[in-house]
Chains A and B, each alone.
Chain A
């Protein structure tokens, strides 16, 4: 599971007919996804994004993460050497069937978002009474 630390950021590819309306660039956040006993965790890297700048929406079974970066460039300084671009983040995931959609928790600290998807309790076995006709 160990790899050398990577640096490159990948930009979101805009599909035809769906252009972005914000001027900022948009990147695909790097994620780790792993399972716990009672659910699944998505860890997403959103550097520069605070708790009030992240939007998580769930539509049908698609979970979308949007992170907005308010770039505070150093005033009076000039960028003379740049290795990374600054922009918003966006990524979507299709959730498995066994996730309880009402029990999704998200928290962010140090630019790292953690989304916990709790597994739904197993469908209760229902007893069907049979009556004689």
Chain B
């Protein structure tokens, strides 16, 4: 039986700093860092991967199964274009954190206002 690829997993939180950029965090307990793929195209972030059950567990011997397994793929629309060269991702204790710096050209510019000479 094939399982539909989940488009709602993992749950994400999006943090924004107008100048610095965007940070996206996701809870992925038990997912190996190597099995997570992250790609950024323009202002779209894509997180995909697979969560595998433990090898030692066999189907017949489950007493309870609340965790779920399979493929996932999430697309996130970012509020602005990011500098794709500078995107960083790190996973610690099952929490993934992706740092996406705002593209230099997209940063808000300070417009100096001068008093008009009369």
Contacts and interface: CB of A to CB of B under 8 A. Distances in A.
Interface string A17-59: 0000000000000111111100011010111111000000000
A76 B69 contact: no
A131 B76 CA distance: 81
A114 B10 CA distance: 21
Given A2-B70, A34-B63, A110 B13 contact: no
B65 to A, nearest CB: 5
Interface string B70-111: 101000000100000000000101110100000000000000
A5 B30 contact: no
Given A48-B93, A76-B20, A111-B95, A31 B13 contact: no
B44 interface: no
B10 A41 contact: no
Interface in B12-51: 12-17, 20, 23, 25, 27-33, 51
Give the bracket for the number of chain A residues in contact with chain B.
35 or more
Task: Give chain A's interface secondary structure class.
Answer: loop
Contacts of A82: 13-14
A31 B66 contact: yes
Contact of B1 (A2, A50, A80): A2
B58 to A, nearest CB: 7
B112 interface: no
A84 B13 contact: yes
Nearest to B19: A76
A43 B91 CA distance: 20
A9 B23 CA distance: 21
A124 to B, nearest CB: 27
A15 interface: no
Given A5-B51, A6-B68, A77-B16, 16 more contacts: A4-B4, A4-B68, A7-B9, A30-B66, A32-B66, A34-B63, A41-B56, A45-B29, A45-B94, A46-B94, A47-B95, A74-B25, A78-B16, A110-B31, A111-B93, A112-B29
